[in-house]
Amino acid sequence: MSITKRRQFTDSAIKQAYEEAGSLSGMAERLNITYPTAATWAHELGLTLKHQGYNKPTLEITGLQCRHAREYLGLTRDMFCAKSKVSKTAIREFELGNSTLRKGNMDKVMKLFRHYRVTFNSDGTFE
Dump pLDDT digits (tens) for 19-66. 898 888 889 899 999 888 888 998 899 888 877 666 666 778 999 999
Rounded Cα gap, residues 121 and 99, in angstroms: 22
Instruction: Specify burial of residue 10 (Cβ count, 10 A radius: 0-12, 13-18, 19+).
Output: exposed
Q: Is the pTM of this model over 0.75?
A: no
Nearest to 85 by CA among 106, 67, 65, 68: 106
Dump pLDDT digits (tens) for 109-122. 999 999 999 998 87
CATH of 63-115 given 1.20.120, 2.30.29, 1.10.260, 3.10.620: 1.10.260
